[in-house]
Amino acid sequence: MRIDRRRVLAGAAGLTAASGLGLSAPALAQSQTRVRFMMDWAWQGPQSFVLLALQKGYFREEGIDFQPDRGRGSGAVPVEIAGGNYPMGFADINPTIRFVSERPETGIQAVGVFAHNNALVVVVRADSGINTPKDLEGKTLAAPEVDAGRQLFPAFAKVNNIDASKVNFLSVTADLREPMLFQRRADGITGFITSTGPSLERLGMSQAQQRNFRYRDFGVPFYSSSVLTSKAYADQNPAVVRGVLKAMVRGYRDAIANPDEAIAALARHEQLTDVPTERGRWLLTIAELIDTPAVRAQGLAGIDMARMQRSIVMVEEAFGRTPRLQAADLYRGEFMPQGAESRVFPVSS
């Protein structure tokens, strides 16, 4: 029989909380709303804040029995939510834009944006002779089909005058993506820079041996990691959605303030965690995706809806669709903590 450590730890924490409040464990359990939650990727440094919030009891304090599962790519998350397998999830918002544009009847929406810069990247070898995005024509890139970098490559290609039909994509599983580049079995890979860079370094390819084409440096100013749900679920369960977001923001704030605590939470959940690699991955995430002037000034809730609309149009046009989706229909900010509660960095004096 397989023992789920996460459930054991959660159960023990629940018993402790119940005894502290003078409640029986069954009584406390009945007050909790179970939420299955799909992450964007494997349990790595950038996902550690969710585990930290879970282990510190933040979801339980909101009356939520939070059940997070690892993901296999941002593109899969809106599909799973639309299919009824998960009520909520965490994913790059841009594959969701494409999905909602193609299937507006699903009512998938973002209710919180946690990365105000995007992590999308094409990575090649520094000695490959691929010096500009245009040089990707005639080359082969490896990535899972649900990888956000792969799904949004047409937007990157359009802005940079790349003939996307001349770029061949090789479908691989997530665990084979970086090895394909390291072993020279592909000319490049797409993905999140927070995943690709540290993973390649771990295989033995230093940063100096990598050339990164960050989408945001080449005319693609997207937002990124977001919490997704359906309009129907949010309308029917507003307190649950608010509770999930509040707990996640608290975990985010703690993980930014104390990266070692976050990676310790990750290591407790994933015993094979390479602590130095994942700590570096999380620090890279903070520097590349989270620490922006807007987030410093306004917190995570400070979304520029005009920028969101430009991103939507860019995605729709890249996939040959007439722009129709409106930012107000895609993003609903009323569920996010506001003001000081949405800040994840100390206020500058």
Q: State pLDDT tens for residues 19-35.
A: 333 343 433 445 899 99
pLDDT of residue 320: 87
Question: Are 29 and 107 within one domain?
Answer: yes
pLDDT, average across residues 306-328: 92
Give CA–CA dist 71/285, Å, rounded. 18
pLDDT of residue 348: 67
Closest CA to 151 of 91, 70, 83: 91
Question: Are 124 and 205 within one domain?
Answer: yes
Sheet with 188-192, side-by-side order of all strands = 168-171, 140-143, 188-192, 120-125, 210-214
Question: Are 227 and 337 within one domain?
Answer: yes
Give pLDDT tens digits for 228-287. 999 999 999 999 999 999 999 999 999 999 999 999 999 999 999 999 999 999 999 999
Q: 147 pLDDT exceeds 60?
A: yes
Question: Are 264 and 200 within one domain?
Answer: no
Q: Residue 3 — very low, low, confident or very high, per pLDDT cuts 50/70/90? A: very low
For residue 232, being part of any structural domain is answered with: yes
Give CA–CA dist 285/115, Å, rounded. 9
Number of domains in the chain: 2
Domain of 84, in residue numbers: 23-115+223-305+317-342
For residue 295, being part of any structural domain is answered with: yes
Work out the percent of the chain whose per-residue pLDDT is above 90: 82
Tokens of 154: 């047409």
pLDDT of residue 122: 98
pLDDT of residue 21: 38
For the chain, give the mean pLDDT.
90
Q: Say how many residues make up the chain.
A: 349
Q: 314 pLDDT exceeds 80?
A: yes
Q: What is the model's pTM?
A: 0.81
Q: Which CATH number fits the domain that encloses residue 135?
A: 3.40.190.10
300 contacts 77 by C-beta, under 8 angstroms? no
The last residue of one of the domains, among 218, 248, 283, is: 218
Work out the percent of the chain whose per-residue pLDDT is above 70: 91
For residue 172, being part of any structural domain is answered with: yes
Question: Are 228 and 294 within one domain?
Answer: yes
Give pLDDT tens digits for 54-75. 999 999 999 999 999 999 888 9
pLDDT, average across residues 212-216: 96
pLDDT of residue 161: 96
Burial-class residue 212 by CB neighbours within 10 Å (0-12, 13-18, 19+): middle
pLDDT of residue 13: 40
